[in-house]
Structure 1
Amino acid sequence: MIVITGATGALNGATVDHLLDRLPASELVVVARDVSTAQRFADLGVAVRHGDFADPSTLPAAFDGADQLLLVSSSDPAGDATSLHRAAVDAAISAGVGRILYTSHQGTSPDTPFGPGRDHAATERMLADSGISWTSLRNGFYSHSLGWMIGPWRETGTFAIPADGPVSWTSRADEAEAAAIIIAAINADPALSSYDGPVTLTASAAPTFAEVAEIASEATGRTVTRVVMEPDEWVAAQIAAGRPEFVARFSLGMYQAADQGYFEGTDPLLATLLGREPLTVRAELSAPPIAH
């Protein structure tokens, strides 16, 4: 049995869809805080269980019988992700889960300026100490967030950032498909060891923001310019534009981590799993803008 948390979100929801192309619905279970939000999976024959990281008492039953548990990471920048992940890992141990697959992030490190990267590092330490077989899916930075990071560049022809560095912008849809491929492979061969521990899934290139501006210029036929501001000046501008200060400083950590090289690595595994090249930054910027 494969149990998936976060299936009502975009990433793991798409992973479930890909799993349904590969496995019978009877082999899947999705866990949701509000089971009514997972009705579309129930309609397809997937069992739906209640489980909430913030209510650890709900989790052992939610995870019961799992040969594999796909554990989504907390995405609340103001929350205590490490404590929530601890509750989930402890429940997995209690439930006798066979393997945990955790949605981590490239650049995971206790020293990164990017807050989630520190949380992921702490969670990976939990997994390593858990005694359970584990896989950490270190996804590249999701490319759909690039448009949000660089703002209304289509209208203004410019975007301002507080630091620059390479980022392996990677499609969330590609990551979801790759996760399903890995889960299905382990399902077919539970002794498979090639996905033990950290597994890096990134696009094939890691352009800097300066290079993103060049790509945007080529994709749209107009000049797009990247401007680097002093960090404090940038944070002040974000606050003046109506963004909460903690959100601005959270975002600042991402740019600083890029500047320090935490997101510069690329790995061919994602392309190998997909059997094609992952989505590129050029394709992302050429697509019609979407709401974030």
Structure 2
Amino acid sequence: MLPEIVTFWHGPMDALRQTCLRSQLAAGHRVTVYSFDTIPGLPAGIANADAEAILPHAFSERLRPPQPDGSWRDWTTLQFSDFFRMKLMAKNLGLWLDADVLLLKPVEIDPAKPYFAWERPRQLGNSVIYLPPGHGIVAAFEELMEQEELTPNWLSLRHRVTFMMRRLRGGSNRLADIRVAIYGPAALTALARRTGELGCALPKQSFYAVHAEPKLFFDPSSYLGLVTNPEIIGLHISPKGRGGEKPIPGSLYAWATERFV
């Protein structure tokens, strides 16, 4: 099955994300970006839908208080999107891809089975994820969202100790302040272990061959091995602040911008 691709975006969209969205469209998928506001520069052919209908904007304040001007603080967007993708799964709205996933070929899924990949040796990535509605991982997030404190029962011992020590020292009572990805890959990994589905994960190469190594994408390199590798379905870029840079000739980014216009 060729699923619809869904994602969430908040704020201005840089050229890298525009290129990645075009690649997802070029692979034959319908692509919908959910947002609270209009997104200037959204590529032609990409649908834009109201995020409020999926997860209200007010939920962000349960994660972290906004800035004095009402804007979201540094980690809020990332953590909000961790919950947002699970709400999309609960509503059976499609396959989640982060907006910085460059898709090299179509993604085929079995709608009855989870779809995700290893990001690191012992951690799943949630930049590419599909879960059937009613799946145990989705249910765990929905149960968590009923809590006021948003403290999951799947926290690792390390994170439990960190949270406890911070509270004892008079620090934040919000788990969201402990770590930016506390509801992201670590949560997915813990819950997939609980449901016995770590074995379902695709290998790291499938989507995370350049993950956390932006030089492999932005700097000149011998990239043909990546774009011709049959095991690589797409590339999660994780630009580390480089998404607004102009493509450098000879880089994988330059190749992508020429291919996905």
Q: What TM-score range do you get, normalising by the shorter chain? A: 0.3 to 0.5
> Which structure: greater helix fraction?
1
Which has the higher relative contact order, 1 or 2, with Cα contacts under 8 A spaced 6 or more apart? 2
The TM-score with structure 1 as length reference comes to 0.32
Which is greater in Rg?
1
The TM-score with structure 2 as length reference comes to 0.35
